[in-house]
A and B are shown apart, each in its own frame.
Chain A
Amino acid sequence: MSKFEFSRRGVLKSATALTAGLAAPTIFTSSAWAAGYTNEPKGGTVTFGFNVPQSGAYADEGADELRAYQLAVEHINGEGDGGMLGTFSSKALTGNGVNGKKVVFVTGDTQTKSDAARASAKRMIEKDGAIMITGGSSSGVAVAVQGLCQDAGVIFMAGLTHSNDTTGKDKRANGFRHFFNTEMTGAALAPVLKNNYGTDRTAYHLTADYTWGWSQEGSIQKYTEALGWKTASAVRTPLGAGDFSQYITPVLNSGADVLILNHYGRDMVNSLTQAVQFGLRDKMVNGKKFEVVVPLYSRLMAQGAGDAVKGIFGSTNWHWSLQDEASKAFVKSFGQKYGFPPSQAAHTTYCQAILYADAAQRAGTFRPSGVGKALEGFKFDGLGNGPTEYRAEDHQCFKDVLVVKGKENPTSKFDLLEVVEVTPRAQVEYPALLLGGELGPYNDGA
């Protein structure tokens, strides 16, 4: 069906373009293909654009995001068991699509590169008529695509992006983030570290040398130093270094007794595995057991690190072992369809799709400013993270943060992390001004 949809839209587009070409001056106004707002849906369907990494290091994470999106679309359209729609506090969505239109979707490959991600988002906007873009697995891509969506006049619902900048320095009115950020990780993790490792510790940071890494390093440093920890050294490592041994050996005799790995994805898998290989976790320094911390965890990546994750603290946006009704409903829905539990990437993208659809339904329009207004300050519950608010000032969701630990005796290859603490939302909240940036006005694209 969507195939047919394709060509029909293509013909329409040619026709518009042809008219534009004949009426020479109008083609130079750029609004030749824009209506009231960018891609205002005309027929019985509305198109969502799912922009996820399908190649490169995050391809598996992207595949999981795509699974969640498909599930979300089914639920919005009233197919399947409804998943978290049953537990979601807003009851605007009735399984009848959005604003009376059936949701269809198009997909694209971000390749985890800003250029490719923007090209693929543009295709979905310009060619496929996507009303919104969502997805992604890195902050660089999120910021790049968010900027694009602002310019094009569509809503961007960020996927997995953890850097402060997405809703800080680089925030945009048309962009919204459900996922948490490094600031929250720092605030949530610090008390747990204090309870387990005490206040007299010296930390050594290994940090991926790009914006997210620095952001993470800064937050952890800020919150741990507030506890009384010292920072021995913060070393930047090249992205994709592969073998981190040359960065790990200096840790051995540095006098530090905690190693903080501000790495994600493959870097995290490699640096953690290698740190354990170098016997760091069996070491005693200053009369204390040496510890390793991975501030941002991902179950998919934990799988790659194997046994190395056992007993290591970190934070995560959501985990499938949570026992609230919403999480259970989501895990059940996802697990029955795909045969394994969803990752946090799948969860956040599912939520984002639902949240967007719900906001559009409540606003009664797909106009970006209308949807945005409906999301601003929106308080909800029942999506697996407890009571949550989309803060109006920076379009960042505020909710509880999970502190997790690598499980000592996993029962399956999915059961790698255990939740040790649910840090309440109040503890991770910060003033919007802290991270700077300017939302600017909504762009409807007309």
Chain B
Amino acid sequence: MPTRNDMLLLTGFVAVVLAAPFLFEPIGAGYPDLLQKFAIFGIFAIGFNILFGLTGYLSFGHAAFLGVGSYTAVWTFKLLSMNPLPAIVLATLFGGLFAALIGFISLRRTGIYFSILTLAFAQMSYNLAYSVLTPITNGETGLQLSQGDPRVLDIAFGRDYGAVLPSSDLFGLEMTGYPGFYFCGAMLIVCFYIALRIFRSPFGMMLRAVKSNQNRMNYTGLNTRPYALTAFIISGMYAGLAGGLLAVTDPLAGAERMQWTASGEVVLMTILGGSGTLLGPVIGAAVIKYFENIFSAFNKSMLGDIFSFLPESLQSGAVSVASLFVGEGWHLTLGAMFVLIVIFLPGGLMEGIRRIGALARRKKPGGGASASTPAE
């Protein structure tokens, strides 16, 4: 039985996920694909945070597990069934297995040596998936469904998709659009809840101890390696699930999902949101995906409309300055945001939320007590 604060946190989280299409509509993010991305990368980041936020092991190769999850899910669609459940179960499993293998070797080292080992494994996976492993991964194009796939379970249960390329469906409910988002959202809630339990459990305490002082831990009779490895595997399973969900909502698995930039992205999401906090990684994931999808969509003519209230002479200047930051310049905004946040909010966005909360409490005594600890 979680504490009252945790129940509040969880209830709030569920409410936000369920109402997401309406909540995010005003900022232009209420459409299914972006919401799905929020949920999926939220899961990815929560899982990464269980490793990095708690044990302090900075993996630079987590995208490999995401990729493995995606490939597993698409192969499950091809060979077994278009139902998302076997796909995500197997994706989680294979993500975990691959993580067990890589974690077992990489955790022999600590610090940056560990980071580089994970990076090296992920880059090897990426490079091979892109080229030599093309029979399994379909290389650059990415693994896709085709009409001739066997889908033995579907056939056994008498489901025939005819000449159309099927999309994943949960007993007839198609996993695209809003239903797809709610499926991912449900997974996000489950994952968030599991993370919450881990954070509040003795096991979570042990993981924090790994980060804090491994020497003391050893002399306290605790074997650090299996703790770190378990955390690594759990986060690998989260990544595998996230990869599986990417394939569920959009049945294509591309190799670039495993590239170091993708691994770096989840690191950035976690740190940006606030590593070691429960909510931070989800927020970080949403912010980065929002920038990627919405800021990149502005073009000069839209900017022209926005600044149309300005006199002609100022307008072109304003447009050219603004276009540095949006459209093809969206990376610049992202980079500048990283710098500013890490300077002014060392604990990530969660620290910002905490500060605002503290400010609100000071202004309104006793009012915000229940919202005192949104996360950690």
A residues at B contact (CB < 8 Å): 1-4, 6, 10, 13-14, 17-18, 20-21, 27-28, 30, 32-33, 54-55, 59, 62-63, 66, 70, 106-109, 113-116, 118-120, 122-124, 126-128, 138-140, 143-144, 147-148, 150-151, 165, 170, 209-212, 236, 238-239, 438, 440-441, 443
B15 CB to nearest A CB, Å? 14
Check B256 against A113 for contact (C-beta < 8 Å). Answer: yes
Check A443 against B130 for contact (C-beta < 8 Å). Answer: no
**B149 proximal to A (CB < 8 A):** no
Check B141 against A119 for contact (C-beta < 8 Å). Answer: no
Complex: A120 Cα to B26 Cα, angstroms: 19
Q: A14-B25, A114-B256 are in contact. Are A126 and B31 (CB under 8 A)?
A: yes
Check B306 against A3 for contact (C-beta < 8 Å). Answer: yes
Q: A6-B28, A127-B28 are in contact. Are A114 and B252 (CB under 8 A)?
A: yes
Which B residues between 129 and 182 are near A, CB-CB below 8 angstroms? 130-131, 134, 139-142, 144, 147, 163-165, 167, 173-174, 176-179, 182
**B316 proximal to A (CB < 8 A):** no
**B113 proximal to A (CB < 8 A):** no
Check A107 against B140 for contact (C-beta < 8 Å). Answer: no
* Interface residue stretch chosen among B103-111, B220-228, B290-298, B355-363: B290-298
Residue of A nearest to B127 (CB): A238
A163 CB to nearest B CB, Å? 8
Q: Which of A10, A150, A170 contacts B26 (CB 8 A)?
A: A10
User: Residues of A contacting B254 with CB < 8 Å?
Assistant: 113-115, 140, 144
**Selected A-B contacts with CB under 8 Å, 15 pairs:** A13-B30, A17-B21, A20-B178, A66-B299, A107-B327, A115-B246, A116-B292, A119-B34, A119-B292, A123-B293, A127-B28, A139-B140, A143-B144, A211-B139, A443-B164
Check B296 against A54 for contact (C-beta < 8 Å). Answer: yes
Check A211 against B302 for contact (C-beta < 8 Å). Answer: no
Check B299 against A17 for contact (C-beta < 8 Å). Answer: no
Supplied contacts A14-B30, A126-B33, 16 more A-B pairs, CB within 8 Å:
A2-B301, A10-B26, A14-B22, A33-B177, A55-B331, A113-B256, A115-B246, A118-B252, A119-B33, A139-B141, A140-B140, A144-B252, A147-B144, A150-B165, A210-B131, A211-B134
**B78 proximal to A (CB < 8 A):** no
Task: Count B interface residues, CB 8 Å.
Answer: 52
Residue of A nearest to B27 (CB): A10
**B305 proximal to A (CB < 8 A):** yes
Check B176 against A32 for contact (C-beta < 8 Å). Answer: no
Check A17 against B302 for contact (C-beta < 8 Å). Answer: no
Check B327 against A54 for contact (C-beta < 8 Å). Answer: yes
**B352 proximal to A (CB < 8 A):** no
B144 CB to nearest A CB, Å? 6
User: Residues of A contacting B114 with CB < 8 Å?
Assistant: none
Q: Which of B140, B163, B297 contacts A108 (CB 8 A)?
A: B297
User: Residues of B contacting A239 with CB < 8 Å?
Assistant: 130-131, 140
B residues at A contact (CB < 8 Å): 21-22, 25-26, 28, 30-34, 37, 127, 130-131, 134, 139-142, 144, 147, 163-165, 167, 173-174, 176-179, 182, 246, 250, 252, 254, 256-257, 292-294, 296-297, 299, 301-302, 305-306, 327-328, 330-331
B271 CB to nearest A CB, Å? 21
Check A170 against B25 for contact (C-beta < 8 Å). Answer: no
Q: A107-B327, A120-B296 are in contact. Are A151 and B176 (CB under 8 A)?
A: yes
Complex: A246 Cα to B164 Cα, angstroms: 47
User: Residues of B contacting A127 with CB < 8 Å?
Assistant: 28, 30-31, 33-34
Complex: A236 Cα to B331 Cα, angstroms: 32
Check B130 against A122 for contact (C-beta < 8 Å). Answer: no
Q: Which 10 pairs from chain A and chain B are nearest by CB?
A: A54-B328, A122-B33, A127-B31, A210-B140, A114-B254, A109-B296, A140-B140, A209-B131, A126-B31, A3-B305
Check B305 against A2 for contact (C-beta < 8 Å). Answer: yes
User: Residues of B contacting A148 with CB < 8 Å?
Assistant: 250, 252
Check B141 against A17 for contact (C-beta < 8 Å). Answer: no
Complex: A3 Cα to B294 Cα, angstroms: 13
